[in-house]
Amino acid sequence: MRRRPSRHAAQPPPQVHETQYLIESGDGATFCLFIEPECIQFDFPPCEKVLLIFRSANPLSYIEMSHAVDCLTIWRPGDTEVWATSGDGPAEQVAGFSDHPFPWIDSGHQAEGRPPWDWPPAPPTSH
């Protein structure tokens, strides 16, 4: 018996774009890495290298970073997973979880109203 082709063709998996950054202390000192908006903090020993992997459906056009003497803060774009690995360890997801979207940053969030950083507030409406 011949099988008829399904009317519902299998959809190809969505394309995932990946951007990688290798982070290390330039002088071999300890350093701290923050990933925002989740405020996730990692402390690394001297001479450690960390590979950050950003995965998203769209290619990244920019990453916002700021640094101090002993720390680096990275703001991940919305709808972007962040994975990290150091040394020969496995890559682990550290931010951008789709089952827990960050309000006003990731799609699928349930927050209502304007984001708290949207300043100044909108003028009152007259009726």
Identify whether 12 is part of a domain: no
What is d(CA 76, CA 54) in angstroms, rounded to the nearest whole number? 8
Q: How many domains does the chain have?
A: 1
Identify whether 112 is part of a domain: no
Domain extent for 48: 17-95
Identify whether 24 is part of a domain: yes
- Average of pLDDT values for 7-34? 79
Identify whether 88 is part of a domain: yes
Q: Which residues is 84 bridged to in the sheet?
A: 52, 92
Identify whether 35 is part of a domain: yes
Contacts within 8 Å (CB) and 24+ apart, 37-43: 37/75, 37/76, 37/102, 37/105, 38/95, 38/102, 40/94, 40/95, 42/84, 42/94
In Å, the largest CA–CA distance within the chain is 71
> 82-119: per-residue pLDDT in tens?
999 887 788 899 988 888 777 777 787 777 877 776 77
User: In Å, how far from its chain's centre is CA 101?
Assistant: 11
Identify whether 119 is part of a domain: no
Identify whether 31 is part of a domain: yes
The residue written with tokens 């018996």 in the block is 1
> 29-86: per-residue pLDDT in tens?
888 999 988 888 988 888 888 899 999 988 888 889 998 888 899 998 888 999 998 8
Helix (H) or strand (E) holding 85: strand 81-86
Identify whether 52 is part of a domain: yes
